[in-house]
Amino acid sequence: MENKTFNHICRAGIFLILLCLQLALPCRSAEAKVYIDITSPQKQLPIAIQELTGPYGKEISEIIKKDLDFTGLFFLLDEKAFIEKPEQAFSRENWSVLGAEVVLKGSVRVDKKVIASIYLYDVFEGRAVLKKRYKAEKTMIVPLAHSIANDIYKEITGHKGVFRTKIAFVVESKGVHELYLMDWDGGRMKNLGIRARTLLTPHWSEDGTKLLYSAERQKRWGIYLLDFLKKREMLIFSSKGTNIAGDFFPGGNEFALSSSKAGTADIYVYNIPKSRLTRLTSERGIEVSPAVSPDGLTIAFVSDRGGSPQIYTMDKIGYNKARITFNGSYNTSPTWSPKGDVIAFSGRYKGRNQIFIVKPDGSGLTMLTEEGNNEDPSFSPDGRFIVFTSDRDGEKGIYIMRANGEAQTRITPRGIKAFGPRWSPK
């Protein structure tokens, strides 16, 4: 591998590892108060986020606001109405009159590293429910802010946030495809130095240390593994025809793929340690886009055996095949939610591709998008958000939305043709 590419991967590996930031997650007792039940939220929680005092305080506060606001679970109070100044001690009377239920206050100082001290107060109880100090290099201000937002989210809901997660995707530039990483909100975009004439959607290992993807190089299709810990790219499968990577199975030793090595495209499972390929389908039609369920027991895939591309499921050894989509003439790109309770996919509707969700038994079909063409859905690790590709602004870009279709937002800059996003598992 070229030194330039190796250096890109090294920086990416360091980029991922440094996210630890020397932080220790706060502990929650079994009886800790849950302010919002995210399984059935009835209302938004009124929260006041004061600007943290000191250097970088405004920047950190704004990132926290943006993170929490996108969830749709919080109502951010207008800081113009705040009675209490950021440098003043917390007083519940100053916040109860504004209807605030929780308040974030804190400070930032720089002593070789950036040190942020935050306090999350319960207004009704008049006490701090979260006290924590964060330390990071000056170059890691953004992940520090995302970490604070994660901890606030965990304290309020009892569940992990996604604000430190990553999205891997592909950028097309001057006829070449390149692999990129970015924060969940589109920030800190990184070129990994992996390029090919054609490069398709990457797939994460469950521990977030590897990416699996297909690339056409020297007129031959191969499936490659990018290992962030070993800092190298490896060709792990190649054969005649087209070979397209699907998801890893739990454990990371096997993955699903589609290959036309035997003529038409079929679904296979490849065991990496044993270099063993097992064929699961052998229909006369085309079978592609295998997506593995979170428990590893079921594969969703696309087949045209019924006359048009539709979503099917089967078990890991290729038995019990069942069609689950019947609406529309072209359905593709299935992906499972982390709980395995729904499958998102791209389906043709009135001449355009839209994002749909459906339950594994074929019930509950719901269309989430309406503007432009929308493809390549992928769930966040908590299942509450979906990242996808859309051309609604005239060019392909990466968007995110809540899993119910709300708050559809572009996160890649204009002028960059981006597609094939996949959300990291952690």
| pLDDT tens digits, one per residue of 332-355 | 999 999 999 999 999 999 999 999
Report whether pLDDT(4) > 60: no
Tell me the C-alpha distance between 401 and 386, whole Å: 5
Residue with tokens 């929490």: 68
Report whether pLDDT(187) > 80: yes
Q: How many CB atoms lie within 10 A of CB 135?
A: 15
Report whether pLDDT(28) > 50: no
Confidence of residue 3 (pLDDT cuts 50, 70, 90): very low
The segment(s) of the chain belonging to CATH 2.120.10.30 are 166-423
Q: In this structure, what token pair is assigned to residue 367? A: 């269309």
Asked if 422 and 202 count as a contact pair (C-beta separation under 8 A), the reply is yes
Confidence of residue 8 (pLDDT cuts 50, 70, 90): low
Domain spanning 23-157: CATH 3.40.50.10070: yes
Report whether pLDDT(32) > 80: no
| pLDDT tens digits, one per residue of 266-293 | 999 999 999 999 999 998 889 999 999 9
Asked if 386 and 334 count as a contact pair (C-beta separation under 8 A), the reply is no
SS3 state of residue 64: helix
Asked if 399 and 410 count as a contact pair (C-beta separation under 8 A), the reply is yes
The segment(s) of the chain belonging to CATH 3.40.50.10070 are 23-157
Q: In this structure, what token pair is assigned to residue 45? A: 């929680």
Confidence of residue 17 (pLDDT cuts 50, 70, 90): very low
Model pLDDT, residue 34 = 83
CATH superfamily of 166-423: TolB, C-terminal domain (2.120.10.30)
Report whether pLDDT(15) > 70: no
| pLDDT tens digits, one per residue of 216-266 | 999 999 999 999 999 999 999 999 999 999 999 999 999 999 999 999 999
Query: From residue 210, how far is each of 132, 221, 224, 234 by CA, in Å?
Result: 31, 20, 10, 11
Report whether pLDDT(9) > 80: no
Model pLDDT, residue 366 = 98
Report whether pLDDT(117) > 90: yes
Indicate the pTM of the whole model.
0.93
| pLDDT tens digits, one per residue of 255-272 | 999 999 999 999 999 999
Report whether pLDDT(2) > 80: no
Q: In this structure, what token pair is assigned to residue 188? A: 């800190």
Radius of gyration in angstroms for the set of CA atoms belonging to the chain, rounded to a whole number: 23
338-341 contact pairs (CB < 8 A, 24+): 338/294, 338/379, 338/380, 338/381, 338/382, 338/383, 339/294, 339/383, 340/293, 340/294, 340/295, 340/298
Confidence of residue 26 (pLDDT cuts 50, 70, 90): very low
The total number of residues written for the chain in this structure? 426
| pLDDT tens digits, one per residue of 39-53 | 877 789 999 999 999
- For the chain, percent of residues with pLDDT exceeding 90: 89
